[in-house]
Amino acid sequence: MGQTKPKIEIYGTAVICASCVNAPSSKDTYEWLQAAIDRKYPNQGYDIRYIDIEGPIENERDQDYATRIQEDEFFYPLVLINDEVVGEGYVQLKPVFTTLENLGFVPDETV
């Protein structure tokens, strides 16, 4: 696997995306992704963080993504891995897992 841990970011808000009928909230998506990754790729390091687009924003990059979501360029939750968009709105596991495996993650075949 590569030298650095993948950086997973989930941008969202407490309000469920209007276009994403029956989808989980952004925070639920964050927790669900973290649990799914930990289960499929145990003991493989990554960093994950949740950014509330309606809360205080820490830096200009996060603010840029928040603005782009608020201006309807992206649906939320927006999921990035190493700055690459891998899901938005109704997030699915396959593109997330594919991206992680392309970065060297090895799935636990017993799961």
pLDDT digits (tens, 9 = 90+) for 18-58: 666 677 889 999 999 999 999 999 999 999 999 999 999 98
Q: In what order do the strands lie in the sheet with 7-12?
A: 47-52, 7-12, 78-81, 84-88
In this predicted model, what pLDDT tens digit does every residue of 45-94 receive, in sequence order? 999 999 999 999 989 999 999 999 999 999 999 999 999 999 998 899 99
Q: Is 11 left (phi over 0), alpha (psi -120 to 50) or beta?
A: beta
Q: Which two tokens stand for residue 56?
A: 């205080």
Q: Encoding tokens for residue 52?
A: 């509330």
The pTM is what? Answer: 0.90
Please give the pLDDT value at position 21.
67
